[in-house]
């Protein structure tokens, strides 16, 4: 393992040296999962040209766990040494990352809350083209209402998907398994769906937005991307968050449920009957996310990048 990490670190460092980036955005872990980013960060800082930004989801885990992890990893020292900015992809009024995780003042000064990232603000020609492929993806005979079940990457989504398929559903039910769901789990779901004539299982699709656009209701886990996609289309949603190994999804689901944007079902209460009850209940179209939180992150990022680049130019002078 140590040799593999060394090779990975050397490769990253070589790329950073040869590419000579103006800005580097690092996702979530300041030093890399195995500290493999440190040599590359040192090389960039030694050149004194590139700005380095740490990008964070608004919620990483419960406060105690994050504070412990950051202390054990000495992440604040790495941020002080190498990072110019921290972009938090969220809204401080929904979850105050700085306060919850106890960022020291000098670290807090580098933080900018971008707002949540609305996928509809991303120009994606392939996604636009795929919008008209939904009816082809949906097996013949599908009828409304259409209820969509999303389990994120799918690695731990089997329990939710099984409960969804066993639930009583008006119209058509569609499960998207995700790219990380084990083959045996996908096979199990397809076998279960075969027992329900209006239930279907689709393997991972590159662009879930066309499915969300056509869906009438959504049952899903509470990952960052999934939640943002649901909110973008203002779909009535029942979210069943993951609670292990991190409570990130649980915290997010609770905050968004409190804002009236989604309904939440704790995984300890997950049963086919609970999903059936939600599907049979009358629901109103949820509040537009923009009315209760900052959902402008995608539109704000170009300006933040310009700000970083402008600071870089001033530093060189």
- Average pLDDT across each block of 10 residues of the chain; the chain has 317 residues. List them in order: 86 90 95 94 92 97 97 96 97 98 97 97 65 56 81 92 94 90 94 90 81 92 96 96 96 97 98 97 91 97 95 48
Query: Does one domain contain both 105 and 175?
Result: no
**pTM for the structure as a whole:** 0.91
Q: Return the pLDDT at 74.
A: 96
Q: What's the CATH code of the domain at 82?
A: 3.40.50.2000
Give the tokens for residue 277: 């009850």
User: Both tokens of residue 300?
Assistant: 């704000």
Q: What's residue 303's pLDDT?
A: 97
Q: Does residue 57 sit in the same domain as residue 150?
A: no
Shared domain check, 259 and 148: yes
3-state secondary structure of 86: strand
Is the same domain home to 87 and 159? no
**Chain centroid, CA 289 distance in Å:** 16
Q: Return the CA Rg of the chain.
A: 22
Q: Tell me what pLDDT residue 205 has.
A: 78
Burial 59-80 (b: 16+ CB within 10 A, else e): bbbbbeebeeebeeeebbebbe
Residue 196 and residue 311 in one domain = no
Q: For residue 123, what pLDDT is reported?
A: 66
pLDDT of 232 reads 95
pLDDT of amino acid 311: 83
Provide the pLDDT for residue 133. 52
Alpha carbon of residue 317 to chain centroid: 38
Number of separate domains in the chain: 2
Domain assignment of residue 91, given as a range: 2-116+296-316
User: Phi, psi (5° rounding) for residue 33?
Assistant: -60, -40
46 and 16 both lie in a single domain: yes
| Same domain, yes or no: 25 and 145 | no
Q: Are residues 89 and 153 in the same domain?
A: no
Q: What is the pLDDT of residue 20?
A: 83
pLDDT on residue 316: 38
Residue written as tokens 């950051």?
A: 70
CA 3 to chain centre: 31
């Amino acid at each position: 393992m140590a040799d593999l990490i060394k090779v990975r670190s050397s490769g990253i460092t070589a790329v950073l040296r040869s590419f000579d980036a103006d800005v580097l955005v690092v996702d979530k872990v300041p030093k890399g999962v195995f500290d493999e980013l440190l040599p590359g960060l040192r090389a960039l800082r030694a050149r004194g040209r590139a700005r380095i930004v740490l990008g964070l989801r608004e919620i990483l885990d419960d406060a105690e766990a994050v504070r412990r992890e950051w202390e054990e990893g000495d992440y604040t020292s790495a941020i002080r040494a190498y990072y110019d900015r921290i972009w938090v992809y969220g809204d401080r009024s929904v979850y105050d990352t700085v306060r919850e995780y106890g960022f020291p003042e000098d670290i807090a000064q580098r933080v900018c809350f971008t707002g949540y990232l609305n996928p509809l603000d991303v120009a994606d020609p392939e996604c636009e083209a795929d919008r008209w492929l939904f009816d082809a993806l949906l097996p013949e005979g599908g009828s409304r209402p259409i209820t969509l079940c999303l389990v994120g990457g799918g690695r731990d989504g089997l329990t939710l998907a099984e409960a969804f398929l066993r639930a009583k559903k008006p119209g058509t039910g569609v499960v998207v398994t995700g790219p990380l769901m084990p083959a045996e789990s996908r096979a199990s779901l397809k076998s279960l769906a075969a027992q329900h004539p209006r239930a279907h299982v689709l393997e991972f699709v590159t662009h879930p937005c066309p499915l969300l656009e056509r869906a009438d209701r959504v049952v899903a886990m509470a990952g960052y991307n999934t939640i943002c996609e649901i909110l973008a289309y203002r779909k009535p949603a029942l979210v069943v968050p993951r609670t292990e190994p991190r409570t990130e999804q649980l915290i997010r689901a609770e905050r968004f449920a409190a804002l009236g944007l989604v309904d939440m079902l704790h995984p300890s209460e997950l049963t086919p009957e609970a999903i059936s009850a939600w599907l049979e209940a009358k629901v109103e179209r949820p509040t537009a996310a923009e009315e209760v939180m900052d959902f402008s992150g995608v539109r704000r990022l170009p300006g933040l990048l310009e700000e970083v680049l402008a600071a870089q130019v001033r530093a060189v002078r």
